[in-house]
Amino acid sequence: METVGILGGTGPAGRGVAARLAVAGHDVVLGSRDAARASDVASAMATRGSGTITGGTNDEAASCDLVVVATPWDSTIATVTPLRARLDGKIVISMVNALTREGREMVPVYPPRGSVAAQLAFALPQSAIVGAFHHLPAAQMEDLDSGIDADVLIFSDDAPARERVAEIVGASPGLRAVVAGSMSLASPIEAFTAVCISVNIRHKAHSYVKMAGLVE
């Protein structure tokens, strides 16, 4: 069972994924610029199942077998660039969405290469970039009793890495893995997060995407 490091892991998105992966048996390290705060956040999290959640530096998180990027989009590249050597040869999962607030809506911001995942692929040429976990409501992810039953759309140009992430997602409670395809789908999958959040703001809901009618 891989250890999993989460860069920028103390935010709601990172904590939500950490909670689910720990239940599935992974030992998870929440990485942060502030390791002491990451330890406090990790200690406060409920765990269930065999996996642990601890806090550390982003460098410690990047030393795990598999690394999830959960930083704000505008600090993603600055965070991973000094960690490149540690990330070489590893699966790096991007759950980052480039969004900005416009009144009562979240709207997408398109990075120069179309998606944050594509920016990561350029910054980390020796890593296998996989996109996942974009559309999930963070609080419902962290609350293991929320009853969430969400689809996780997965994309990568590296087919074995994509399949391994699909296995990990599918083994996590409340999540179904749906392989969408290649990095050509990164931009629409990331940008659609703006729609999910805007729907939730407008309808005061915590909804999430299901691909209905899809039988695996």
- How many CB atoms within 10 Å of residue 143? 16
Nearest to its own copies of 85, 212 (CB atom): 212
Question: Where is 100: in which H helix or E strand?
Answer: strand 99-102
Question: Where is 58: in which H helix or E strand?
Answer: helix 58-62
- Asked if 169 is part of the footprint of its own copies (rule: CB under 8 A), the reply reads no
- Asked if 144 is part of the footprint of its own copies (rule: CB under 8 A), the reply reads no
- Asked if 182 is part of the footprint of its own copies (rule: CB under 8 A), the reply reads yes
Nearest distance, CB of residue 178 and its own copies, angstroms: 6
Nearest to its own copies of 40, 102 (CB atom): 102
- Asked if 209 is part of the footprint of its own copies (rule: CB under 8 A), the reply reads yes
Closest CA to 185 of 89, 94, 102, 107: 94
Of 11, 49, 72, 181, the one binding its own copies (CB under 8 A) is 181
Which range, of 10-18, 40-48, 117-125, 195-203, touches its own copies by CB under 8 A?
195-203
Q: Answer for the pair 33, 41: CB distance below 8 angstroms, yes or no.
A: no
Q: Which residues are registered as beta bridge partners of 32? A: 57
Nearest to its own copies of 85, 203 (CB atom): 203
Nearest to its own copies of 26, 162 (CB atom): 162
Of 105, 157, 158, 163, the one binding its own copies (CB under 8 A) is 105
Q: Answer for the pair 89, 75: CB distance below 8 angstroms, yes or no.
A: no
Closest CA to 128 of 174, 183, 184, 201: 183
Nearest distance, CB of residue 25 and its own copies, angstroms: 26
What dihedral angle (degrees, nearest 10) is formed by the CA atoms of 75, 78, 82, 87?
60
Question: Where is 67: in which H helix or E strand?
Answer: strand 66-69
Contacts with its own copies, 45-74, as mask; x by CB under 8 A = ------------------------------
Q: For residue 141, which phi and psi values (nearest 5 degrees)?
A: -70, -45
Nearest to its own copies of 70, 209 (CB atom): 209
Of 40, 74, 88, 102, the one binding its own copies (CB under 8 A) is 102
- Asked if 194 is part of the footprint of its own copies (rule: CB under 8 A), the reply reads yes
Q: Which residues are registered as beta bridge partners of 29? A: 5, 54
Q: Answer for the pair 76, 173: CB distance below 8 angstroms, yes or no.
A: no
What residues line the site for its own copies (CB under 8 A)? 102, 104-105, 107-108, 137, 140, 148-150, 153, 178-182, 184-185, 187-189, 191-192, 194-196, 198-199, 202-203, 205-216
